[in-house]
A and B are shown apart, each in its own frame.
Chain A
Amino acid sequence: MKNNDKKKIILSIITVLLVVVLIAGGTFAWWTWTSSNNTAISFTVEGGSMTIDGGGNITGQKMVPTNNCSGTYAIVRTVKVTAINQTATSMTSTVQLDLSGLPSALRTSNLKYTFSETSGCNTGSPTGTLSGTTTPFTLTSFSVGAGATVNKTYYLYIWLDSAETSSATQGKSFTIKFAGTLVQNAS
């Protein structure tokens, strides 16, 4: 290879490299400055929690039409709910019953309940009935302020009212259990 050819090749390579550097936005060593103090950004994402203490599991609860909403044939429980909101936005806590284990035959308007922060029940003035098909069924909801912890005690009574006469409600197994949600309100 002649010397002139070698020079041409070398010059071509240098030119191509320069063009590549320019296209890539390369800089040719200006002064630079970098801050000497760093601002620490360290956090743990905080949310919330909700616990429901249903007052104890029940196995083999017997149920018959009754006029005693706190007697042997009624479900009677003291329920404790704790909702903790660690965020800066208020939340809504909702206490529910999961009725997916309640057969349709028992979903009668005579399956009544009382759910209250006050102890005691009255068959003549229940909170409502579990006749609907909606599950989970909302018993109550309350607000939990930003950074707040809310403790609630409720008294639950579920009974088959003495007005029930249908034999379709007889011999039916059921499961009722608590559920709940803690949802952050729109900011």
Chain B
Amino acid sequence: MNKQKLIGTIIGVIFFVALIAGATFAWLTFNATVTNGTYNGTSLNFTYTYNGGNTVNKISILGATPARNSIKDQAGYVVLTASKAANTAKASSFNIKLHKNSSSITPESVIRYAVCKGTAANCDNTASTAIPSTTNTTFVAYGELGTWDSNKDITLYSDTSTFANEGAASATYYVYLWIDGTLVTSTNQSSIIGKSFSGYIHASSTQTG
């Protein structure tokens, strides 16, 4: 009995080792004949060619709906271009964000922004035209920055249409920044004039299936 147990144990150990090693006990193998079963493909990309434009180091105190050239004179605007190539996945959104490093302007709600999406012809060349106080087909975002924490982003505009399809697409965005002079009063101007804002504009996007 002990001998049988020993042999059984050895066989068991061999089987166990063979299983762990992934061995099979097939001595005869045949390759399958495959038809219509070869699949080629490539994973799409998800990247943009992005140009963030020139820096802004000066903005103006202007009226509620200022002329674009009043802002341009002070270089208080940024021109962003973004494009994705033919082999890129579709995006749920393309987000233009303003990151705040620090600000001593109080209240920050006096800082206004507007985003124009389109060509120079409808965003830039008609520079004497006032920026509308509401959004429309070209001025897609408008408002006050409000107050938010330092070292955090706020989204100025989320484009959910331009890059919503797979493949090539591109867009140009004009971001205008100014101080709403109608909100600067004799009582609060000392906390606005001579005060500074520091941050940067950047962009992000999320792919969708």
Binding site for B on A (CB under 8 A): 27, 30-47, 87-89, 146, 184, 186-187
Contacts and interface: CB of A to CB of B under 8 A. Distances in A.
B48 A33 contact: yes
Contacts, number: 129
B56 A41 contact: yes
B62 A30 contact: no
A138 to B, nearest CB: 18
A46 B189 CA distance: 11
A158 to B, nearest CB: 28
**B: interface residue count bin:** 35 or more
B149 interface: no
Given A35-B50, A42-B199, A44-B194, A184 B61 contact: yes
A33 B47 contact: yes
Given A30-B209, A33-B46, A35-B202, A45 B194 contact: yes
Given A30-B207, A47-B194, A186-B63, A42 B202 contact: no
Interface of B: 46-48, 50-63, 66-67, 70, 73-74, 76, 78, 80, 89, 92, 98-99, 105, 177, 179, 181, 184, 189, 192-209
Nearest to A47: B193
B175 to A, nearest CB: 9
Nearest to B67: A187
A107 B170 CA distance: 71
Contact of A43 (B59, B204, B206): B59
B177 A46 contact: no
A40 B98 CA distance: 10
Given A38-B202, A39-B202, A46 B56 contact: no
